[in-house]
Structure 1
Amino acid sequence: MSETDIKVHDNQDESRLEIKADGLFAVAEYEITGDVIAFTHTLVPKEFGGRGYGTMLAAACIEKARKENLKVLPECSFIHAYMARHPETQSLAHSSVQF
């Protein structure tokens, strides 16, 4: 499988976004309450380092929030750091979030 074939899958049954490659999973777990999506835990295997999968996963988290008209509560440091580095995403942040 080439890296251009890598896609993020929204596994709604497990409440997580996933990337599967080389038999490994990168995941961003979420909880939706009302109009807020909280990203509670993100795991990107070290074997995925340098491939851009973490960025792809974080961008998919923001896109899910945007498409579903949800405010983002980045409880995990990975998504918080992504949003801090990408000011264009910060308008989606829940009012309690500081960058």
Structure 2
Amino acid sequence: MEIIQEDDGKKGAFKALSNETVAGEMTYVWAGDTKFIIDHTEVDPAFAGKGIGRQLLMRAVAFARDRQLKIMPLCPFARSVFEKTKEIRDVLF
């Protein structure tokens, strides 16, 4: 599974690709220069139950840590993973 990031400076997405098929996508919008809001996560039903959503979130957390950014998880999925995983809460705002 390859995870790529697309970003146009206003919004972006992390996409999980399996043989060029989009298995899942997590979208975000920028809230200033140092914060972004995760607003949606979607996984193709053919890839359900394989941890794709969590992989996408962990890539977002790594991105935030690398650039000293903060995340606001408005997406219910992302919010639930942050609630369950205290080790990643350092990137929350």
Which range, TM-score by smaller chain? 0.7 to 0.9
Paired residue for 1:3?
none
Amino acid at match of 1:81: S
Amino acid at match of 1:24: V
Q: Shift in Å at residue 25 of structure 1?
A: 3.6
Distance in 2, matches of 1:92 and 1:24, equals 26
Structure 2 length-normalised TM:
0.84
Q: Shift in Å at residue 10 of structure 1?
A: 0.7
Distance in 2, matches of 1:58 and 1:91, equals 14
Out of 7, 13, 29, the residue aligned to residue 27 of structure 2 is: 29
Distance in 2, matches of 1:25 and 1:49, equals 9
Larger radius of gyration: 1
RMSD over aligned CA atoms reads 1.5
Native 8 Å contact 2:23 2:52 kept in 1: no
Distance in 2, matches of 1:19 and 1:84, equals 23
Q: Are residues 1:93 and 2:79 paired?
A: no
Runs of 4+ in structure 1 off by over 6 angstroms are none
1:1-99 aligned at under 5 Å gives the runs 6-13=1-8, 15-21=12-18, 23-32=21-30, 33-94=32-93
Unaligned runs of 5+ in 2: none
Tell me the percent identity: 20
